[in-house]
Amino acid sequence: MGDISNTDAWTGDHLVDQGIITLPELDEAWALSRRWQMPLPDVLLSRSSVDSRTLYRSLADRFGLDHVDLIDEPPDLTLLSESDAETYMRELAVPWRVRETAKGKRLTIATARPGPQAMLFIRRRWGSEVDVVITSRRALRQAVQQAFSQSWTRRAIYDLDDRDPVMSARTVFTPVQLLILWALASACAIGAVLAPIATLIVLNALMSVFYLGNFAFKGLAIWAGGVDLAAQQREIDAAIGLLADEDLPVYTILVPMFREPDVLPILAGALRRLDYPAAKLDIKIVLEEGDTPTIDAARALKLEEIFEIILVPPSHPQTKPKACNYAFRLARGEFCVIYDAEDKPEPDQLKRVVAAFARAPKTVACVQCRLNYYNRDENWLTRLFTLDYSLWFDLMLPGLERMGVPIPLGGTSNHFRTDVLRELHAWDPFNVTEDADLGIRMTQKGYRTKLVESTTFEEANVSVGNWIRQRSRWIKGYMQTLLVHLRRPGDFVQQVGPLGVLGFVMFIGGTMTSGLINPVFWAVFVVWAVTQAAGFDIFFPPVLLYLSLFNLLAGNGMLIFLMMLAPFRRNWLELTAWAPTVIGYWVLMSIAAWKGLFQLITRPFYWEKTTHGLSRMTAIERARADSGEGGA
């Protein structure tokens, strides 16, 4: 653990002399500064020991420099270069203006990190014939952001499409894909004219084989995922114990929000409870410029300096990945994670991820944590949603990881190496399941995803309508992802391997396809059961009949059984009895699938916003957060 710098020592003394902080506060801050290996001002700001304006004014006085507020007095845009934006943010120094001085016109540099290092940089970068003023970190970042917002907005939208158009969902269907789909449809039409029975039998057979493959693959994934997670957990626990705060890197947390003022206090509370050096948290609350209620709510909370509010200028598509791309440009951390507004990650999650990354090869670019719900017992829908997530995250994902199948990432708690994320041009703003898409894209570029035993708890949808809106967006996104990544099937196979392709088709394609075709088979079954009509018999020759019966009974039975097993790892045995009602859940999924397909054609980039804060648990959590209580 290194000692504090002279600058920090001097700054601390000054603040005490000025009565801005007390001596015990200074001692505490110094101790943290040593432990975290972070500058003293950062520590003080992260703990809200002093507000930003007071600190920087005091520093300006101490150094005998002027203090400027770059928000009120923004820099001269002609002095700024977009290519240096990252440098401005990292070094916290930016050209402000050219002022008339007694020495003539001189360039003035605004810095938010007064001290020898800053001066050294300024001189190297702009020479010695410059003046320096002091500004706050927040103001400097905001000024830089405003200077380049238009360009950053465009890049947030079109970067991926410009640099790697094959990987962008901006083109929903390529001409080749349309031609192939049309050819398939035409072949079916010809078959329907020339040999309708045979054509329908063939289609029936294809769908039945697909179902069989779906069941088999899911069963295989779960079987493969039966790893000893306890051993893995012990390893991570041991690794965490060896981590020192000084070894922990800066961590960027992106929290995109839209029209969610109510859940903001819950989020803030959850992030404060993270077991991580506060000064090393680079938290970005990403809001849309037009979302006044949420912006006002955020400002009203008077969040600490570690919470930075990023306002995304209005543009289309108005999606979460676009907002994240915009904010990601300002990320300072070595690692980056996205949390949703209602998320409650386990406090030691960041450390677990750091330990996991440290033990993993460089090809591991993402660590996916588990998701689950804190309001699981609220109603039937939340219970089924919990079973669904438990099955996916606790049983299937470990199997996919072990089989080397590309993992479609979950919407939150995806932790990335920031440099890799930049290399991949971050998220696709045109894909409404940008997380799933990114997971596949990462695999294609040679990177992998690792799972870590840490859970983020979210609010499960309590309303059927809300759930359908959310799920329709997911399925639409899966459709987009499928269309994007199968544009070059040969390359795709080479990059992810046959097993990866199979997994991709079964999980991404399977989810949407089964949702679309299930109603057809359900209708056939219901009509036959009610009317005993024999008209369907000719479409089910013996082998196909047995296969279909197997799918109906054994396949669905297996899925229900797996649903019943899903909550066992978390010891939520009371949910097991609800598993047989999953059939109703599947009906909702089919509704969502058809809605998603419709939107894929009519509004492919439309982000169907999920309303949060409907759960009564959320209201309880909000009350706790407002009162300053903790608790998950």
Q: Which residues bind another protein (CB under 8 A)?
A: 157-158, 170-175, 178, 181-182, 185-186, 189, 192-193, 196-197, 316-318, 430, 532-535, 537-538, 601, 605-606
- Taking the least distance from each CB to another protein, the nearer of 174 and 233 is 174
Beta carbon nearer to another protein, 178 or 206:
178
Which residue number, 431 or 454, has a Cβ lying nearer to another protein?
Answer: 431
Report in angstroms how near the CB of residue 597 gets to another protein at its nearest. Answer: 12
CB of 436 to another protein, least distance (A): 20
Phi-psi category of 110—alpha, beta or left, where left has phi over 0 and alpha has psi -120 to 50?
Answer: beta
Residue 102 or 534 with smaller CB distance to another protein: 534
Does residue 21 contact residue 45 with C-beta atoms inside 8 Å? no
CB of 603 to another protein, least distance (A): 8
Nearest approach, Cβ of residue 327 and another protein (Å): 20
The residue type found at 180 is I
Which candidate, 371, 444, 454, 448, places its Cα nearest to that of 417? 448
* CB 364 to another protein: min, Å: 33
Q: Is 450 left (phi over 0), alpha (psi -120 to 50) or beta?
A: beta
- Residue 128 or 531: which CB sits closer to another protein? 531
Half-sphere exposure of 463 (CA within 13 A, CB side): 11
Q: Which is nearer to another protein, 128 or 602 (CB)?
A: 602
Q: How far is the CB of 596 from another protein (least distance, A)?
A: 16
For residue 419, how many other CB atoms are within 10 A of its CB? 12
> In whole angstroms, how close is the CB of 534 to another protein at the nearest point?
3
Shortest Å distance, C-beta 442 to another protein? 24
| Tokens read off for 449 | 């995803």
Instruction: Give the largest CA-CA distance in the chain.
Output: 100
User: What are the Cα distances from residue 403, in Å, to 107, 400, 486, 500?
Assistant: 59, 5, 20, 8
Nearer to another protein, 586 or 606 (CB): 606
Rounded Cα–Cα distance for residues 95 and 107 (Å): 7
Residue 56 vs residues 33, 52, 113, 138, 255: alpha-carbon distances, Å? 18, 6, 9, 11, 27
- Closest to another protein by CB, 536 or 586: 536
Distance CA 8, CA 45 (A): 13
Residue type, 189: A
